[in-house]
Amino acid sequence: MGQIWNYIIVQPIAFLLRGLYTLVHNYGVAILLFALAAKLVLLFFSFKGKRGMLQQQRLQPKVAELQKKYGKDKQKMQQEQAALYQKEGVSMFGGCIWALIPFPLIIALYGAVRQPLTYIMQIPAEHITVIQEELLSPVTAASKDLEEANALVTLAQSNLDAAEENAKAAAQTELDQATERRDAAQTNFNTVSASNKTVVDATKNGTLELFAAEKLAADEAFYRRIEEKGVQGLQKINFNFLGLNLAAIPTFASVLLLIPLLSALTSFLSVWLTQKFSGRPSAGGSSTAMMYLLGPGISLWLGFSWPAAIGLYWIVQNVLGIPQEYYLTKYFNKKLDAEEARKAELEERRKAAEAAQKEEDRQRRAERIAAQNQKHKPKRYKLKTPVEKPEDETAEGNE
């Protein structure tokens, strides 16, 4: 899995970073250009994530109503919330998933930046071993000399313990000489270790390749010694940018602390301005506070844990992200407003159609009932009254 990750993610990133450095011959500018290229590549995912995030934000009032209604019934609340998101055509995790896409990129960049000999300079592993051995050669030689001196002391002590009475004086002299040599070797080892403390620390914390790449670029004599050992055609990389060593890990005792601080500050501004751009009030409470503090906190922590080049990359990403968030928010708010207006119009038409249908059904029922009543209405018979004859006809008949 590690090999696949290196070939698919880390190697292409290292290739691009190496190409940018070859083009501009400035490590800091190469990081800036890489951050810009990464922002453009990730723009598609930013589109997806921003739309999903704004859609979720617009549903928050309805979600709050569900929480008030089903607050005590968690299972029912989850079911109703899922039904709401499905009805509105919104993914519950859409915004979060797209927002996580950049993290593999920065992790791969970290791997490339932390191991410049392997990834950026493309030096074979056996040649890297030669470079590391040459860097540690003073400490290794002093350590070997100290081990030999300790072995001599142990041997002399054994000889003294086993010596005859008449040979103890000579054995003691041998032990004293061995002890004196061991003390001198210990003093030399301490001195060499102190003078090469940076190399020793880099070996302990896994940043020896960073130190080696910087050493190759700054120390011509060291570079020549490496060439004499068969390592040829190395690309020198100067990690300095505006007086800052981007290969070093920032500490509170160095000027590099500005990079983690700026990274945290720009991260906070990005989150705060994104909230302002949305034009909708935040929900408030602990969740809002967590949103404002989580990103800057991670930026600050990683800024003091990773090489300064990563912090610079993060700063550029945050700065470029502010106008991107503004325009994406403006674009999608306008688009979502139009979609909501369209939905509202369709809903009004549906309600009007339902009302008209109900009225038509009511009239039909009324007509049907009236027709039925007319059909079953009882007939009324009128009594015939006798027809009175005229007086003249009556008289004639009597005659």
Q: What is 237-259 written as a DSSP string? A: ---EETTEETTSPP-TTSGGGHH
pLDDT tens per residue across span 273-311: 877 776 655 555 455 566 667 878 888 888 888 889 999
pLDDT in tens, 219-231: 888 888 888 888 8
Burial class (CB in 10 A: 0-12, 13-18, 19+), 121: buried
Q: What is the mean pLDDT of the chain?
A: 82
- pLDDT the model gives residue 312: 92
Residue 352 and residue 300 in one domain: yes
Residue 83: per-residue pLDDT: 82
Tell me the C-alpha to C-alpha distance, in Å, between residue 248 and each of 211, 255, 305, 308.
8, 11, 10, 6
pLDDT digits (tens, 9 = 90+) for 316-373: 999 998 888 888 888 888 888 888 788 888 888 888 888 888 888 888 888 888 877 7
Judgement on whether residues 202 and 245 belong to the same structural domain of the protein? no
The residue among 236, 257, 287 that closes a domain is: 236
Domain that holds residue 334: 239-363
Q: How many beta carbons lie within 10 A of that of residue 62, not counting itself? A: 15
User: Stretch 151-160: mean pLDDT, rounded?
Assistant: 91
pLDDT the model gives residue 376: 64
Residues 232 and 273 occupy one common structural domain: no
Residue 216 covered by a domain: no
Question: In this model, does residue 30 exceed pLDDT 60?
Answer: yes
175 and 266 both lie in a single domain: no
| Cβ neighbour number for residue 36 with a 10 Å cutoff | 14
244 backbone dihedrals φ, ψ, rounded to 5°: -110, 140
What are the two backbone dihedrals, phi and then psi, of residue 4, each rounded to the nearest 5 degrees? -60, -45
What pLDDT score was predicted for residue 152? 93
Give the number of domains in the chain: 2
**Which pLDDT does position 399 carry in this prediction?**
46
Of 123 and 59, the one with more pLDDT? 123
Express each pLDDT in 36-52 by its tens digit.
998 888 888 777 777 77
